[in-house]
Structure 1
Amino acid sequence: MAVLKGINGLQVQILSPKDSYKEEYHDTDKEQSDNVATQYIEAESGQEFHIEWHFQPAFPFKDNHIRSSVHLDGKEVDNIICDTKRLQRWEGYRTVLSGARFKKNGKWYELPFSFADLNIDEDNHGLNDTGLKEKVSCLGEISVRLWRIEKTGESKSSTNQPSFKSLKTVPEKALKGRAVSQQAQYVNTYLVVLKEREIADLLQSLGDERVVADVSVSHVRYINPYDKPFAVFNFRYRSRSGLEALGLIAALEDRPIESLSNEELRELVKRQQEQLKATSQVKTEVKIKREREDDDGAERKIKRQDRSRTSEDVETVDLTEV
């Protein structure tokens, strides 16, 4: 769980669809500040995720409302407000956000958060596109930021859907060697169901649109400056191979077989099959190359022999004594 050095009683975690907490990995080479916690988590493409806040009795700012925003790959997609009544409960307070919420035709909907593959272009098309550098620099991170606030009045809720777009393709050079192979997104389930039922069926566990409880929207005044939240939780998500490349987890090949889960065993077998396939392909290519070289060598040898025979069979006439 992500905790802060300078603030007690506050935890933020990423949950998988089965409500199990994502294991977190700490980069020991980087110093953590008092109000910023940065952890790595494993991401699986196609998997949904949820964000959980846990305010414990020791939380020091229970007399203030707390606003918390969620940023996916550098883009703010939603926020929550925890009021003082909830924060002051003797047992503490937990809340979970599973997607970006919006209002449509008088109802509130939620677009589930999920991880998705990042298409990397090895030919580096669009490397100099405007804004690409900034977008790529934020890839692979879920950021949760918190401020102390005062409510100044109720606001009419917006009917606009969140304006968040996943990157279709990223030039390989733009990543500059970073072990990023995925991106975060929210699935536009509501629009999919209205347009194409067969596409919705492909979403499997998402099913129909998710109608959520009404959301109250407030005007607020920040006690902390907006550019200085009192707490920041960064979750850098990577594939298993990405975490291995960073040295944060041991490679499956280096771990005892009996310590691997069923899922890890399947991944190990998959890797071994891919390696065998790649090795077999290389051997085939080398064999074909050698056969070609042997054929070329034999042909050159035959030509040399032909030339030798020709020179030996030529009759010469000595005219020096005539």
Structure 2
Amino acid sequence: MKIATLPGVQVKLRVNGADLQEYADNTDELYTPKIGRQYVEAVSGADFEICFAVEYGAIVSHTQADVVACHIYLDGKWVTAQVLDTSSSAWAHGRADNGRGECRCSIDGRVENVGGLGGQYYKRRFESKSQIVPTFADLATDDRSAKHITPESVASLGEVKVQWIWMRRAGVPRLLTGQSKHTPATGESLPEKCLKGRAISQTAKLGEAKACAAQTSQDATYPYGRQPFATFTFKYRSRRDLQIEGVIARTPSPSPLEDRDPDSLTADEARELVRRMRAQQDEQVRIKREKRARSVPHDDDDRAAVALETRRRKRPRASHDSGIDVVDLTDF
């Protein structure tokens, strides 16, 4: 993903070493050159990383003391941040090594030290399910009331957001201590009413904690305010969600076997077609037999019809001739 104000910067979501395909976001959200929005297809259970490629000279700081604070949010909740110093020797070596005049780096999770100074450090990858690394996972919903949940807390569901803010280091780096454990924005489950009709069946979360090396943290000041100068938003959805929202075309329904060219059928499809045709023929034979059985008269019906006709013939009739009485001699 690129934005208009930083054409020399690319931000990607990557799974298993491959960049996720991006799809244009054609919603009615207000366009701004500092913000990029793209849809990506999320696969449940897949760990992902956020990758940056910055061309030489693409980011120009106000002073030599300025660096970039890269903040990461999952479903609207802050997860971690990393300092990007484009003037550092590491970035300079990166430009020389890859031969493309750019430096590359990535963020694949969050480091935690819950035990304080001297405690064990753990990393959790971004996931579907994973280290702390981000991962995509199925979103669990329920039918609870959503009254206790504010609209702001669920407005960014289904988003991985990257914000770049100018900052300056305050003091020297120190060991990361006492960082609280991250909890996902969706909790264990989310009332379905919070989705408000949005097709969201995935959530981005942190995987299981795995031991890692110690990490330092950096105090910072923000001389130009905390307003980001660049924001990259990835709206992650399952393939079905993307189809429901009209981002990608729905998979066309296959043509009925009866309408297809017989030469194009596989052996299994041909056997299925024969089975269906036999079932249809058997059904037609059954229906014909039932109709034939209903149309054949029974002997009892014949006798009843004759008796009725005899009675009709013996019914007394009054004469219309004047002065003549007609006597009914029918025996009862």
Deviation by residue 1:204-250 (Cα, 9 ceiling, x = unmatched): xxxxx252x44232221213311x11000001111111101111111
Shift of 1:163: 2.6
The alpha-carbon distance between structure 1 residues 238 and 58, as it changes in their structure 2 partners (threshold 3 A), is same
Question: By how many angstroms is 1:133 displaced?
Answer: 2.9
Shift of 1:252: 2.2
Give the Cα–Cα distance (whole angstroms) in 1 for the partners of residues 33 and 162 of structure 2. 15
Distance 1:81 1:132 in 2: 31
Q: Higher helix share goes to which structure? A: 1
Q: Hey, what's the Cα distance between the residues in 2 that align with 1:162 and 1:67?
A: 21
- 1:42-61 equivalences under 5 Å are 42-61=41-60
Please point out which of 131, 144, 148 is paired with 1:125.
144
Alignment of 1:1-322 (within 5 A): 2-16=1-15, 18-30=16-28, 32-61=31-60, 63=64, 64-83=66-85, 84-85=87-88, 86-89=90-93, 90=95, 91-103=101-113, 105-113=118-126, 114-121=135-142, 124-129=143-148, 131-154=149-172, 155-165=174-184, 166-187=186-207, 189-190=208-209, 209-211=210-212, 213-226=213-226, 228-253=227-252
Alignment length (residue pairs): 230
- Give the match's secondary structure for 1:243: helix
Q: Which amino acid aligns with 1:145?
A: Q
Gaps of 5+ in 2: 96-100, 127-134, 256-332
Q: Partner of 1:135: helix, strand, or coil?
A: helix
- The match for 1:282 is none
Change (3 A) 1:214 1:21: same
Q: CA separation in 1, counterparts of 2:26 and 2:57?
A: 27
Distance 1:52 1:80 in 2: 12
Deviation of residue 73 (structure 1)?
A: 0.8
Report the CA distance shift for 1:12/1:254 in structure 2 as closer, same or farther (over 3 A): farther
2:308 — aligned with what? Answer: none
Cα deviation for residue 29 of structure 1 reads 4.2
Shift of 1:156: 4.4
Letter in 2 for 1:60: I
Within 1, Cα distance between the matches of 2:104 and 2:5?
20
CA contact (8 A) 2:46 2:136 kept: yes
Letter in 2 for 1:147: I
Q: Which amino acid aligns with 2:141?
A: I
- After superposition, the Cα gap between the structure-2 partners of 1:97 and 1:38, relative to the gap in structure 1 and judged at 3 Å, is same
Overall identity of the aligned pairs, in %: 27
Q: CA deviation at 1:132?
A: 4.5
Q: CA RMSD in A?
A: 2.3
Contact 2:120 2:211 in 1 (8 A): no
Structure 1 residue ranges without an equivalent (≥5): 191-208, 257-322
Output the TM-score relative to the length of structure 1. 0.65
User: Contact 2:67–2:83 at 8 Å: present in 1 too?
Assistant: yes
Q: Is the 8 A contact 1:77 1:164 kept in 2?
A: no
State the secondary structure of the residue aligned to 2:240. helix
Q: Which moved more, 1:103-112 or 1:233-242?
A: 103-112
Normalised to the residue count of structure 2, the TM-score between the two structures is: 0.64
